[in-house]
């Protein structure tokens, strides 16, 4: 997936154009000498949240409360085909992919088909869990390189093994064997 742009329906939002040839850096200069205060108000974290929102995140209460009437459009490419995902802050149960309406679960299932070849019967593995490896929101997401915030260790193991193209059957077998051994004791 290649991000192209992020737009909103309000003129106060500056459209973000992502670098088509590689890495896009969004930086902000700290205005304080307090090392515990990382807030600078540039919008880096908010930008990440909006991208996540457009890609089927759970409902974000703060968007509904503070951004009524706002709609965000993320344009991206998958295998050279351009897509747009549009989602409104006050109608979060609907996500539009190329103008086709989806609910959150259906949108994520559609994105999973387009982006991630998840094997059948692979618990703990979804489009959203794989996607979360590529963006981190919230302080808890920066604590570990292997797990995201609030993620269980087994889910982390399955998702990281999937991205490394390891055989997931071994991981599930190990878990079942361990569970069987615990019941014997």
The pLDDT of residue 63 = 95
- Using the structure block, give the residue that is written with the tokens 């997401």: 141
The pLDDT of residue 6 = 97
Class of domain 1-115 as given by CATH: alpha beta
The pLDDT of residue 137 = 67
The pLDDT of residue 5 = 97
Burial of 89 by CB count in 10 Å (0-12 exposed, 13-18 middle, 19+ buried)?
A: buried
Ordered by start, the domain boundaries in the chain are 1-115, 117-184
The pLDDT of residue 4 = 96
The pLDDT of residue 3 = 94
Sheet bearing 71-78, strands edge to edge: 16-17, 2-8, 71-78, 81-88, 91-97, 100-102
Residues whose CB falls within 8 Å of the CB of residue 68, separated by 6 or more in sequence, listed in order = 89, 90
Task: Provide the token pair at 155.
Answer: 């889910």
The pLDDT of residue 57 = 92
The pLDDT of residue 179 = 85
H-run or E-run covering 119: none
Q: What parts of the chain have a pLDDT lower than 50?
A: none
The pLDDT of residue 138 = 65
The pLDDT of residue 24 = 83
The pLDDT of residue 21 = 86
146 three-class SS: coil
85 three-class SS: strand
Does residue 129 contact residue 155 with C-beta atoms inside 8 Å?
Answer: yes
């Amino acid at each position: 997936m290649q991000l192209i742009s992020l737009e909103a329906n309000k003129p106060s939002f500056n459209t973000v154009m992502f670098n088509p040839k590689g890495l896009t850096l969004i930086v902000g200069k700290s205005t304080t000498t307090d090392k515990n205060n990382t807030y600078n108000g540039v919008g880096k974290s908010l930008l990440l949240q909006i991208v996540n929102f457009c890609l089927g995140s759970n409902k974000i209460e703060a968007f509904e409360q503070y951004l009524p009437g706002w709609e965000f459009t993320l344009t991206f490419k998958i295998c050279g085909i351009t897509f747009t995902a549009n989602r409104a802050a006050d109608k979060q149960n609907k996500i539009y992919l190329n103008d086709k309406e989806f609910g959150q679960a259906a949108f994520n299932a559609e994105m999973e088909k387009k982006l991630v070849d998840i094997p059948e019967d692979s618990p703990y593995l979804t489009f959203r869990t794989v996607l979360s490896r590529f963006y981190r929101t919230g302080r808890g997401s920066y604590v570990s390189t292997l797990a995201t915030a609030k993620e269980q260790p087994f889910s982390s193991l399955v998702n990281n093994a999937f991205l490394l193209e390891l055989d997931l059957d071994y991981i599930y077998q190990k878990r079942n064997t361990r569970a069987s051994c615990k019941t014997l004791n």
